[in-house]
Amino acid sequence: MDPQHPQLTFETRAARVGEWRPPTTPSLVEPIYQSTVYKFTGLDQVDAVQEGRETGYIYYRNGTPNHTTLESAIAGLEGAAAAVVGASGMAVISGMFLSLLRPGDHVLCDRVVYGGTYNLLSKELPALGIETSLVDATDLAAVAASIRPGTRLLHVEAISNPMMQVVDLPALIALAQRHNILLSVDATFATPYLLRPVEMGADLVCHSLPKYLGGHSAAMGGVISGRAELINIIRSKLSLYGATLAPFDAWMALQGLKTLALRMRAHSDNGAYVAQFLARHSWRGHPSVMRVIYPGLPHHQQHTLAQRLFPQGFGGMLSFEVPGGRSGADAFLRALSAIGSISFSPSLADVSTTVSYPAGTSHRLLSEAQRAAIGVTPGLIRLSVGIEDKEDICADLDRALAAMPNPIQAQHNT
């Protein structure tokens, strides 16, 4: 017999077990709010919460305390007034385009962006009557010439995936402001540790959360930060489209965020070291790495600009090309896999070093001609340098490169 409810049957008591009372001593780490719905005392309270007069939550799809905590943490680090999280990076990027653009509007996007964004711009948005132009955002005159009366938004990646292109953000911000168009920056590769576009004057900044912000390849999600009025528009659409982040993922991403500064310092130190190692790598006197693309290398096309924009370091992402096209890349990936330490995993920014193959993963849906136009060649490998001992990373890359067929011999044999 339950002494508190002696009159209730077992069935009723069982169905109502587990009422949660917040402890009077708050936990150091926020709990995970794994509840789809919240309780109200009456209609006045529902109205007050709906209208934002009272802090509270109604339904998981519209947000939970875990979402709010992560959003204010990221907005704070970005120097932005507000942020909204969504189910993935693509959820917030599509949510941004779909909520800020109408049929007939025109959007400009850099041509070297993540494959999903590229597809959204080249296929999905035009099918909805939104006109799109892919431009070279390093060519300011070309960007200016592409702006039309209906242009509403310009979207760029601060350090592009996978070509590591760096755009002149201050100049693009000035251009966008002059033409009264919105500028959104995907800063997934840079993170607010290295670059804070909203503080510089951009309207919006977005990230894929499983990358550096979460940092451990465990939590999915996306986030976009900016002015409150823009974020509120995007928030209501993300909720309507049902692109909600799971509270567990929000909670995990928050734990990762706490070590962002430490990790980015280590990723940047190691990234620069490994880029230099690859750039001077040669095998029996013949180059086994044909080109290395890292903003911190002096020969990078935007190196001087990158030095100005990223005084704290250039992050841990780089791309390089092995000889022999797809079969050369496959030989390298197989050699790495046999060594068993650096994983071929088509994501990035984990604490451990991983490699990916853009032509077969992130940029798979592009045609060969589209890939060739932006430099995603069949021999291109994308390397996400982790926070391990840098000599160990180089030793594994060295072993995998040495295990590849001699490129000169391979040429003779074909």
Applying CB under 6 A, the residues found at the interface with ligand PLP are 88-90, 114, 116, 157, 161, 186, 188, 208, 210, 222, 362
Q: Which is nearer to ligand PLP, 82 or 348 (CB)?
A: 348
Contact yes or no for 350/280 (Cβ under 8 A): no
CA distance linking residue 226 with residue 168, whole number of Å? 19
Contact yes or no for 150/105 (Cβ under 8 A): yes
Compute the least distance from the CB of residue 50 to ligand PLP, in Å.
30
Q: Which is nearer to ligand PLP, 88 or 99 (CB)?
A: 88
Q: Which is nearer to ligand PLP, 210 or 271 (CB)?
A: 210
What residues have CB less than 8 Å from 253, skipping those under 6 apart? 70, 85, 209, 213, 214, 219, 221
CA distance linking residue 164 with residue 292, whole number of Å? 10
Residue count (the chain): 414
Which residue of the chain is nearest ligand PLP when measured via CB? 89
Contact yes or no for 387/274 (Cβ under 8 A): no
Contact yes or no for 113/86 (Cβ under 8 A): no
Compute the least distance from the CB of residue 402 to ligand PLP, in Å.
30
Q: How far is CA 385 from CA 11, 76, 196, 263, 370, in A?
A: 56, 27, 22, 11, 27
Compute the least distance from the CB of residue 222 to ligand PLP, in Å.
5
Q: Which is nearer to ligand PLP, 161 or 191 (CB)?
A: 161
Compute the least distance from the CB of residue 185 to ligand PLP, in Å.
11
DSSP string, 167-184: --HHHHHHHHHHTT-EEE
Q: Which is nearer to ligand PLP, 223 or 331 (CB)?
A: 223
Q: Which is nearer to ligand PLP, 211 or 390 (CB)?
A: 211
Burial group, residue 46, by CB count within 10 angstroms (0-12, 13-18, 19+): middle
Burial group, residue 211, by CB count within 10 angstroms (0-12, 13-18, 19+): buried
Compute the least distance from the CB of residue 45 to ligand PLP, in Å.
35
Compute the least distance from the CB of residue 211 to ligand PLP, in Å.
6
Q: Which is nearer to ligand PLP, 114 or 320 (CB)?
A: 114
Tokens 């840098």 correspond to what residue?
A: 390
Compute the least distance from the CB of residue 248 to ligand PLP, in Å.
16
Q: Which is nearer to ligand PLP, 106 or 155 (CB)?
A: 155
Compute the least distance from the CB of residue 355 to ligand PLP, in Å.
14
Q: Which is nearer to ligand PLP, 295 or 328 (CB)?
A: 295
Beta bridge partners of 109: 134, 155
* Packed helices 65-78 and 247-257: angle between N→C axes, nearest 10 degrees: 30
Contact yes or no for 271/315 (Cβ under 8 A): yes
Burial group, residue 292, by CB count within 10 angstroms (0-12, 13-18, 19+): buried
Compute the least distance from the CB of residue 94 to ligand PLP, in Å.
9
